[in-house]
Amino acid sequence: MEHTSLLERILRGAALTLVVIFFMFPIVWILMMSFQTNETILRIPPQLVFKPTLANYTALITGKLTTAAGTLDIAFMRNLWNSVFLSVTSVAVALLLGVPAAYAFARHKFRGSEDIAFTLLSFRFAPALLVLLPLTLYFQKLGLANTYIGLIWVYQLICLPLILWIVRGYFEDIPADIEYAYRIAGHSWFATFRKIALPLAGPGIAAAGLLAFIFAWNNFIFALVLASADKQPVTVGALAFITSSGIQYGQISAAIVLSITPTLALALYAQRYLVEGLSLGAVKG
């Protein structure tokens, strides 16, 4: 590797530059669009230099878009709140259910344990609509249609397998001897779980929670099928923008920027754990 020729280094540099441009350009461009008025956006050729305006963000945050034709209500903050609420609650529920189960699967080989663990894993790979379409009909009968509870329950399909399998790996990494020693000292299993296992697996649990949050936030199909306007998260809400009349491209861009910022920020924060999370614990970063 040390004996790289100049030509090779130039080629590598060029290839990497192309890669960075391809993957970064859309984000940069949408960010730029979000600071432009409709007039500059519609100009051809596209402008690289423009006078930035915060009008798009103000319109979204105040929920009022004032145009020549009058004022228009934008419910985007509602979508943003839905995203926050749905993702946070789903992850909290998934942690509450998933961490004890992960501990059981890691520490106790009981009858059917692997079958159950794999059944949970298989939810990650089953087609979402297979479950969602009958569920819409059930939810209507049960009164769960268009409720947060119904949505949070379905969001467990994303969060639970992820948390279960990642956290299980972290529990398995803790040497069982540490726990035995603590048990022999006369402590109950619960004390062992709380004082030994949980703190040692803590970073892994936090990372799994962050990842589950990102996946819940980015989900589209569940809310598209099960939620109507007032319960929709940003992924579905932003898409509705493009067909609703009166909303301009600058506001759509600003909405996209506001919608992707939380996940991007969290991903940067949790990037150390991302590889392990994305591979459901099979590859360590």
CA distance 126 to 132: 11
Longest CA–CA span in the chain (Å) reads 77
Instruction: Identify residues 53-112 at the interface with another protein (CB under 8 A).
Output: 96-98, 100-101, 103-105, 107-108, 110
Residue nearer to another protein on the CB measure, 71 or 265:
265
Residue type, 271: Q
Residue written as token pair 């779980």: 193
Select from 45, 177, 184, 185 the one that contacts another protein (CB under 8 A): 45
Q: Give whole-number Cα distances, 268 to 171, 217, 264, in Å.
A: 25, 16, 6
Select from 35, 65, 263, 273 the one that contacts another protein (CB under 8 A): 263
CA distance 203 to 36: 41
Residue written as token pair 């990102």: 214
Residue nearer to another protein on the CB measure, 145 or 280:
280
Residue type, 64: K
Select from 50, 57, 148, 189 the one that contacts another protein (CB under 8 A): 189
Residue nearer to another protein on the CB measure, 6 or 44:
44
Select from 127, 184, 185, 245 the one that contacts another protein (CB under 8 A): 127
275 binds another protein (CB under 8 A): yes
Q: Considering only 59-67, 72-80, 194-202, 232-240, which stretch makes contact with another protein by CB under 8 A? A: 232-240
Quick one: which of 113, 205, 214 has its CA closest to 163?
A: 205
Residues 105 and 113 sit within 8 Å (Cβ to Cβ): yes
Q: Considering only 58-66, 84-92, 201-209, 213-221, which stretch makes contact with another protein by CB under 8 A? A: 213-221
Select from 10, 19, 54, 181 the one that contacts another protein (CB under 8 A): 19
Residue nearer to another protein on the CB measure, 38 or 61:
38
Quick one: which of 148, 169, 22 has its CA closest to 88?
A: 148
Select from 42, 54, 149, 191 the one that contacts another protein (CB under 8 A): 42
CA distance 124 to 266: 22
Residue written as token pair 């990642």: 166
Report in angstroms how near the CB of residue 107 gets to another protein at its nearest.
Answer: 8
Select from 128, 151, 212, 254 the one that contacts another protein (CB under 8 A): 128
Residue nearer to another protein on the CB measure, 49 or 130:
130
- Residue 85: Cβ within 10 Å count: 15
The conformation of residue 247, written as its DSSP 8-state character, comes to -
Select from 9, 21, 26, 62 the one that contacts another protein (CB under 8 A): 26
